[in-house]
Amino acid sequence: MKTTYGALALAAAAKVAYAHTTVYAVWINGVDQGLGNSDSGYIRSPPNNDPVKDVTSTDITCNVNNVQVAKTLEVAAGDVVTFEWHHNSRDASDDIIASSHKGPVMTYIAPEDKGGNGTNWVKLAEEGYNASDDTWAVDNLIANDGKHNVTIPDIAAGNYLLRPEIIALHEASNVGGAQFYMECVQVKVTGSGSTSLPSGVSLPGAYSATDAGIEFNIYGDFSTYPIPGPTVWDGASSGASATQAASSVAATSAAAAVSTPVAASSAAAAVQSSSVAVVQSSTPVAAAASPSASATADDEDEYDCDDDEEETTSSAVAVAATSPATTPAAVTPSSAAAAGGNYISTTTEVVYVTNVETTTVTVTAA
């Protein structure tokens, strides 16, 4: 049985600031190398903190300003290099990146001349999703004041680029919705390392918009998250904790898809709603309903998280049934999930919608 209900989304709007991010500085063995994100620094840094979204673009290599900068940091095999990300500044009050921007954090390396041209990238470290405590690499990054580490492998001396990267997956259930944040840090490896880097991958080239870890619904049911790109080079040794833990994330994620209400405010912002199709495994009628993803996100920019733009997420999404009469008067994805009976959440997705007052709910009962 499939029934369509009219749903009234009562959105008490809540203001949420979305924060993009860039690398501001690097530490070597715990020593701050100073602000590095300018032409006189050591980070090939973009002019703003917007993400790259087209994985086929050359911007995916080192972001939109892939030109040599003044300084190069000297490092040796075994050195621990720490990247320090920020939203707006190095101030302690900086929020690093919006907590909504869940996703993996990775680090690549390539010889400078090749890597700068988009080839020979070798992954040194990656962190994805840890199901045992339901944390993403980005959660850990925020908790760690924007810092993550990589250990320099025992490679031949020379100039290299280190390429830290965050993929924010909050809109990644749509193809092209994933947000890529990366920079290239200029380093000179000293010493007499003899290990040759493998040939690596090309960027662009190694990612596809439909890769399992790039088109991914973080609001849905999943037990593992496949980190995009190549595997971590086994010669990379320490520092690379590839936490791709498996787990049992149950059908409870519908509740998590509805963001926390804050306070009613501006009317003209985007509304976040969630969708969960619930399949009932036994007869009872009381259907679980939720707003579907049919709402109109007509303009990508409306719900893209521009740096200076504040967007609104819906707090309460009440669903009023128009038929049949047996449907609960008001359900939300979470209340539906809690309504009893044997429900299986089959799909969950979150969309950003703009100025939406009504939407459509599809309920499927087995």
Q: Which stretch binds Cu ion (CB under 5 A): 137-145, 156-164, 300-308, 320-328?
A: 300-308
How far apart are alpha carbons 187 and 287 in whole angstroms? 59
Count Cβ neighbours within 10 Å for each residue of 328-349 and write b for 16 or more, e otherwise. bebbbbbbbbebebebebebbb
How far apart are alpha carbons 348 and 351 in whole angstroms? 10
Cβ closer to Cu ion: 99 or 140?
Answer: 99
Cβ closer to Cu ion: 37 or 243?
Answer: 37
Cβ closer to Cu ion: 269 or 305?
Answer: 305
Cβ closer to Cu ion: 18 or 108?
Answer: 18
Q: Which stretch binds Cu ion (CB under 5 A): 10-18, 57-65, 234-242, 289-297?
A: 10-18
Cβ closer to Cu ion: 101 or 123?
Answer: 101
Q: Which stretch binds Cu ion (CB under 5 A): 109-117, 123-131, 258-266, 305-313?
A: 305-313
Strands, E, within 183-242: which ranges? Answer: 184-190
Least distance from Cu ion to the Cβ atom of residue 21, Å:
7
Bridge partners for 195 per DSSP: 155
Residues 6+ apart with CB under 8 A from 42: 26, 33, 36, 69, 70, 71, 72, 73, 185, 186, 187
> Around Cβ 251, how many Cβ atoms within 10 Å?
16
Least distance from Cu ion to the Cβ atom of residue 51, Å:
6
Check residue 305 for interaction with Cu ion (CB under 5 A). yes
Q: Which stretch binds Cu ion (CB under 5 A): 8-16, 86-94, 143-151, 303-311?
A: 303-311
Decide the pairing of beta strands 179-182 and 147-151: unpaired
Cβ closer to Cu ion: 63 or 151?
Answer: 63
Least distance from Cu ion to the Cβ atom of residue 177, Å:
11
Cβ closer to Cu ion: 20 or 123?
Answer: 20
Helix (H) or strand (E) holding 336: helix 333-338
Least distance from Cu ion to the Cβ atom of residue 101, Å:
5
> Around Cβ 1, how many Cβ atoms within 10 Å?
10
Cβ closer to Cu ion: 95 or 154?
Answer: 95
Terminal Cα-to-Cα distance of the chain (whole angstroms)? 7
- DSSP string across 2-57: EEEEEEE-----EEEE----EEEEEEETTEEEEE--STTSSEE--SS-PPB--TTS
Q: Which stretch binds Cu ion (CB under 5 A): 18-26, 66-74, 244-252, 334-342?
A: 18-26
Q: Which of 11, 14, 20, 350 binds Cu ion (CB under 5 A)?
A: 20
Least distance from Cu ion to the Cβ atom of residue 115, Å:
25
Least distance from Cu ion to the Cβ atom of residue 149, Å:
23
How far apart are alpha carbons 275 and 296 in whole angstroms? 14
Check residue 170 for interaction with Cu ion (CB under 5 A). no
Closest CA to 161 of 257, 61, 92, 302: 61
Check residue 86 for interaction with Cu ion (CB under 5 A). no
Strands, E, within 179-231: which ranges? Answer: 179-182, 184-190
Q: Which stretch binds Cu ion (CB under 5 A): 15-23, 32-40, 75-83, 157-165?
A: 15-23
In this structure, what token pair is assigned to residue 238? Answer: 């320490």
Cβ closer to Cu ion: 20 or 163?
Answer: 20
Number of residues that bind Cu ion (CB under 5 A): 3
Residues near Cu ion (CB under 5 A): 18, 20, 305
